Amino acid sequence: MSTQPSPSRRLTPLKRPLNLRETVLEQLRTAIITGEIAEGSLVSAPTLGQALGVSATPVREAMMDLAREGLVETIKNKGFRITAMTDKELDDLAAIRLLLEPPSMPAAIGRLSDEDFEELERLADACLTAAETEDLQGYLGFDREFHHFILSHIDNPQLTELATSLRTRTRLYGLKELASKGRLGDSAREHHTLIALLRAGDGAGAEQLMRDHIGHARRVWATGSEEHDTQDGVGS
């Protein structure tokens, strides 16, 4: 079990939004993906609820969703343990993503309308704003929505949901450091590059960009160190 400080000292109280459960879910998911709540930690809904300034009920519901995503496991009469992932498991996730996401980019060519590209531009702009303000929760949410939106146009719902699930399970422990160095904005700008490639009908270019994205995610995003990545940019 991790000896890191209690997650209750890491999380910040939430303003009560319209959809409280979804907001709690997003903050907890981000905390796990980025390592703010360390893998192996045993947490309880009441403790997390107190840290977030909400009742235990939306936290418990969110943790059950995260259990279905594979990010936590339920421990009877104790709470939830953050799932640990080995380097081999993370390598395996990246390998599967490489089989699914890059080859799907050419399939999206010609399937995106002008309105679709406007939506992608909106999401890419939101990603960039979140990156520049070091809003990791916002960045991960918009990034996930951006890529899900593209994949949703290839007419293969099972592939779309699987790829999105694998993206969610990927741990990005170096993300906070990259944001603090101002390098997360580089990744955000690559969303606009992908849009331009898709608009131009450059399926091969879009496929290669996605390969670079996933490679970066497994290296520099996982550690926050530029030494672990020899290519320009830091994709997601």
Degrees, nearest 5: CA angle 124-130-136: 115
CA torsion, ordered 225, 43, 68, 173, to nearest 10 deg: 0
Q: Over 80: is that where the pLDDT of 225 sits?
A: no
Note the pLDDT tens digit of each residue in 106-163.
Answer: 999 999 999 999 999 999 999 999 999 999 999 999 999 999 999 999 999 999 999 9
Note the pLDDT tens digit of each residue in 169-192.
Answer: 888 888 888 888 888 888 889 999
* 201-211 residues labelled b (16+ CB within 10 A) or e (exposed): ebbebbbebbb
Query: Please, which residues have CB within 8 angstroms of residue 181's CB and are 6 or more apart in sequence?
Result: 224
The lowest-confidence range among 1-5, 45-49, 157-161, 166-170 is: 1-5
Q: What is the pLDDT of residue 204?
A: 98
Residue-level length of the chain:
236
Q: Over 50: is that where the pLDDT of 17 sits?
A: no
Query: Which of left, alpha, beta for 204 (phi over 0: left; psi -120 to 50: alpha)?
Result: alpha
Q: What is the DSSP letter of 131?
A: H
